[in-house]
A and B are shown apart, each in its own frame.
Chain A
Amino acid sequence: MTDVVSNSVPPTRNHGALDHFLYVLRSNPVTLLAFMMLAVLLVAALVGPAITPYDPLTSNAAIALQPPSLDHWFGTDNLGRDVFSRVIVATRLDLAISVAAVALSFVIGSLLGSIAGYWGGWLDSVLNRLFDTIMAFPLFVLAMGIVAALGNTVENIVYATAVINIPFYARLVRAEVNIRREAGFTQAAKLSGNSDIRVLALHIFPNALPPMMVQVSLNLGWAILNAAGLSFIGLGVRPPTAEWGIMVAEGANFIVSGEWWLALFPGLALMFAVFTFNLLGDGLRDIVDPRQRT
């Protein structure tokens, strides 16, 4: 039935990538909203420190634990620091950790998954058992262990988050590569004189991108939560650095005594970020899929 439609459509000029991006945004309001939310996050991350009303690290005991007001939109914490400024400034660190971790697991996972899916055989079995082993651990506990063992630094949070995410990418890529290993266009690429590596890298792998994009965006959300979670229990980022996880952890002590704003606003920021990435998935997939361009 799709034939009917495509045959009757009058030929028009081919749409460029930007046109396509705008079309995806126009046709799907949720994607538009997600991209707007992403823009807010990116602005906060890029120019955050320059636009905050107060220094996020300067303490002022005189105004400690004040509720939200016009001066301090999100209130102040126990050391008199402006919570709003801290939440904004923390965006850069949290995004950096999650993007770096996801990029790392994307690259390593794609590489291992492609190898396993394309060549198969014993290599496939070995790699799969390796992924199984990683996934057999409770992932957060594994990440805790890695950070504890390697040392309490931001880089190690990135590595730990990357390691626990690699199996997800590898599995996905393996399946996507595997179903295309015998596809007609793979055979055609070999006939055109492409070596195995070229076939894999230039012909098969790019076709796995649309589902990967969904995974990436969901994963960015998880990675932020993971990084915040590690900081929350005291691993990784250390005070007084502004970071959403630590801020929630520190603020949690004051909820009982009624100072709810300390934990609520960084928590909301976390929620906002995770929600943005979860919404982004479908839109990203549509954008990287050339079949959506009609």
Chain B
Amino acid sequence: MSLVSIKDLKVSFKTRRGNVQAVRGISLEVAKGEVLGIVGESGSGKSVTSYALMRLLDKGGSISGGDLSYGGIDLKAASENEMKDLRGREISMIFQNPRAALNPIRKVGHQIEDVLCRHAKATRSNVRSEAIKALEAVKINDAEQRYDAYPFELSGGMCQRVVIAIALACDPKLLIADEPTTGLDITTQKAVMDLITELISERDMSALVITHDLGLAAQYCDRIVVMKDGEVVEEGQSDQVFTAPKHQYTLKLVDATPRIGVSVRELLLPDQRTPFPELKKVDLPLLEVRDLTKTFQGKSGPVHAVKGVSFTVKKGQSVGLVGESGCGKSTTSSILARLLDPTSGEVLFNGEDLSKTPARKFSRDPRRASIQMVFQDATDSFNPRHTARQIIGEPLARLTQMARKQRRSRVEELAVLVGLPVKLLDRFPHQLSGGQKARVGIARAIAVEPEFLILDEPTAALDVSIQAVVLNLLVDLRARLGLSFLFVSHDLHVVRLLCDEVIVMKEGKIVEAGAAEQVMTSPTHAYTRTLLSAAPHPPILTVPTSSAAE
């Protein structure tokens, strides 16, 4: 008998414009000991399904139809008190953002004790040792000492381990993991996912893994359910879903996942593939970085974020800067964008040393328009009080002499160029979807026709199908405007699609640099190999599909 069975579940949300159906009648079953992956892009209703199962829907959300049962218990009819007993003891959940899921002002040990005490799994005398045991179970070194740590003292991966420890403290039968590794580094992602699957099989639990990453689901789940717009479009064994997708949408997702051996155009559906543009390359250096260092004054002594980095970006070239969080890639890109002053070293742009003008004064520098940046988190990079039109027009107003009317038509021109419907220009950022926001961010950055564009993980927050479109857009723009890119990312697969050369950074230093294809296929440094092997390896398509048919 299956542990969880969901039949024809419907969930609706009350909004300002009436009811919105987030889940429209889905049915799925999780067997004992099975790991089921729910894959879908944002807005597909995959998270809502799991929240409905826990009966933790947001205000305004309600289960409008269908049945939910867990081990024979009708979850839809269960009272709030019964649900409180089930949550944590029978069904547990790991959240997307581990830092947000932990109470910032309480020691992590105490937070584990809470759940143990709530479900009477420990007494006052042994609760501390039980909590430490739970920490040891998730392989935290020095569990005894970590017991007294506050969430802010731990790294993202460590926080996620603590969240897992809380979730598993009472030996639940079902674990729901909602995007458990989003926002974590690729090596941490592997460690966390390995840990979760190991603990699940050790304790003979079932799990529901919700993710947008097909590769991840294929690697760690027994069975996959693909959701779109609140409906299940495909269901099957993981490798089967991946290698022989039946539904058009699944095929699109599989195609859009960056992987070895495909070009950026092949991420798109066959009918959307345009011929690859011709890139003009001039063998002249545009940007030369020489022995760049940056030291921050931390509370416990100086922090060396960048320790002597040198590289060159040629005109029309696209260079990828790869590394995990804390490797100094963001600091380096901030310095190159002239938002931050280096401690020492030179940044030669067309032969002139930019670091001679302090970052504070650079906003009025005539060269400001030549160097622009696309930010990682588009939402955060927009003034929430400005419309898309104002956002794109801002650099035009400040950095060019254009008249108001001219600016208006230029903004519309840019919107067309990046594929943003002109009627969306009067919306506020929160009224735009992730892909639309990415386009606004790119339009703003190219508005003043810069020579050098820094892209700080511009697709990290996007769904794969939108990522595919945005990456292609960037390729087109580069060819059309003759831009040079510095593409900062943690994902080597994405970098390979877009860049001619790759620089791999670790702990403030460059550990490997070279042609993208070469670094990907025959990495010389051990760290590069670790990065490459940590990325989920999606099974290769075996059945002739659209991409093979081309």
* Whole-angstrom CA separation of A188 from B429 in the bound complex: 14
Q: Which residue of A lies closest to B21 (CB)?
A: A8
Segment at the interface with A among B153-161, B316-324, B346-354, B365-373 = B365-373
Cβ contact within 8 Å between A193 and B363: yes
Cβ contact within 8 Å between A5 and B15: yes
Whether B380 sits at the interface, judged by CB under 8 Å, is yes
Whether A293 sits at the interface, judged by CB under 8 Å, is yes
With both chains docked as a complex, state the minimum distance between the C-beta of B249 and any C-beta of chain A, in angstroms: 15
Whether B433 sits at the interface, judged by CB under 8 Å, is yes
Cβ contact within 8 Å between A192 and B22: no
Cβ contact within 8 Å between B395 and A192: yes
What are the interface flags for A183-225 relative to B under an 8 Å C-beta threshold, 1 for contact and 0 otherwise?
1110111111111101000010011000000000000000000
Option from A188, A291, A293 in Cβ contact (under 8 Å) with B381: A188
The interface residues of chain B lying within 8 Å CB-to-CB of A27 are 16
Cβ contact within 8 Å between B375 and A207: no
* Whole-angstrom CA separation of A4 from B42 in the bound complex: 7
Whether A133 sits at the interface, judged by CB under 8 Å, is no
Q: Which residue of A lies closest to B11 (CB)?
A: A4
Cβ contact within 8 Å between A187 and B339: yes
Cβ contact within 8 Å between A6 and B381: no
Which residues of chain B from 378 to 419 have a CB within 8 Å of any chain A CB?
380-385, 394-395, 398-399
Which residues of chain B from 51 to 86 have a CB within 8 Å of any chain A CB?
51, 58, 61
Q: A4-B48, A184-B380, A193-B399 are in contact. Are A14 and B426 (CB under 8 A)?
A: yes
Q: Which residue of B lies closest to A180 (CB)?
A: B383
Cβ contact within 8 Å between A184 and B377: yes
With both chains docked as a complex, state the minimum distance between the C-beta of A6 and any C-beta of chain B, in angstroms: 7
The interface residues of chain B lying within 8 Å CB-to-CB of A71 are none
The interface residues of chain A lying within 8 Å CB-to-CB of B42 are 3-4, 7
Looking at A23, A27, A188, A198, the one whose CB has the most chain B CB atoms below 10 A away is: A188
Cβ contact within 8 Å between B51 and A187: no
The interface residues of chain A lying within 8 Å CB-to-CB of B431 are 6, 14, 293-294
* Whole-angstrom CA separation of A5 from B23 in the bound complex: 11
The interface residues of chain A lying within 8 Å CB-to-CB of B482 are none
* Whole-angstrom CA separation of A188 from B386 in the bound complex: 13
The interface residues of chain A lying within 8 Å CB-to-CB of B363 are 190-191, 193-196
Which residues of chain A from 261 to 288 have a CB within 8 Å of any chain B CB?
none
Whether B427 sits at the interface, judged by CB under 8 Å, is yes
Q: Which residue of A lies closest to B427 (CB)?
A: A14
Whether A12 sits at the interface, judged by CB under 8 Å, is yes
Whether B124 sits at the interface, judged by CB under 8 Å, is no
What are the interface flags for A1-44 relative to B under an 8 Å C-beta threshold, 1 for contact and 0 otherwise?
10111111111101000000001000100000000000000000
Whether B299 sits at the interface, judged by CB under 8 Å, is no
What are the interface flags for B36-58 relative to A under an 8 Å C-beta threshold, 1 for contact and 0 otherwise?
00000011010110010000001
The interface residues of chain A lying within 8 Å CB-to-CB of B433 are 6-7
Cβ contact within 8 Å between B385 and A207: yes
Cβ contact within 8 Å between A290 and B15: no
* Whole-angstrom CA separation of A23 from B51 in the bound complex: 30
Whether B364 sits at the interface, judged by CB under 8 Å, is yes
Whether B490 sits at the interface, judged by CB under 8 Å, is no
Cβ contact within 8 Å between B444 and A291: no
Cβ contact within 8 Å between B13 and A4: yes
The interface residues of chain B lying within 8 Å CB-to-CB of A5 are 13, 15, 20, 22
With both chains docked as a complex, state the minimum distance between the C-beta of B200 and any C-beta of chain A, in angstroms: 25
Whether B280 sits at the interface, judged by CB under 8 Å, is no
Option from A1, A12, A290 in Cβ contact (under 8 Å) with B428: A290
With both chains docked as a complex, state the minimum distance between the C-beta of A243 and any C-beta of chain B, in angstroms: 39
Option from B16, B230, B375, B384 in Cβ contact (under 8 Å) with A290: B384
* Whole-angstrom CA separation of A290 from B432 in the bound complex: 13
Cβ contact within 8 Å between A193 and B364: yes
Cβ contact within 8 Å between B17 and A183: no
Give me the interface of A with B, judged by CB distance under 8 Å: 1, 3-12, 14, 23, 27, 183-185, 187-196, 198, 203, 206-207, 290-291, 293-294
| Given pairs A193-B364, A206-B383, 7 additional interface contacts (CB within 8 A) | A5-B13, A5-B20, A8-B230, A183-B380, A184-B382, A185-B384, A192-B444
Write 10 A-B pairs (CB below 8 A) sorted by A numbering: A4-B13, A8-B43, A9-B15, A188-B375, A189-B383, A191-B368, A192-B394, A194-B363, A207-B383, A291-B384
Closest 9 CB pairs of A and B: A7-B43, A184-B381, A193-B398, A184-B380, A192-B395, A193-B399, A4-B22, A192-B394, A185-B383
Give me the interface of B with A, judged by CB distance under 8 Å: 13, 15-17, 20-22, 42-43, 45, 47-48, 51, 58, 61, 229-230, 334, 337, 339, 360, 363-364, 368-369, 372-373, 375-377, 380-385, 394-395, 398-399, 424, 426-428, 430-431, 433-434, 444-445
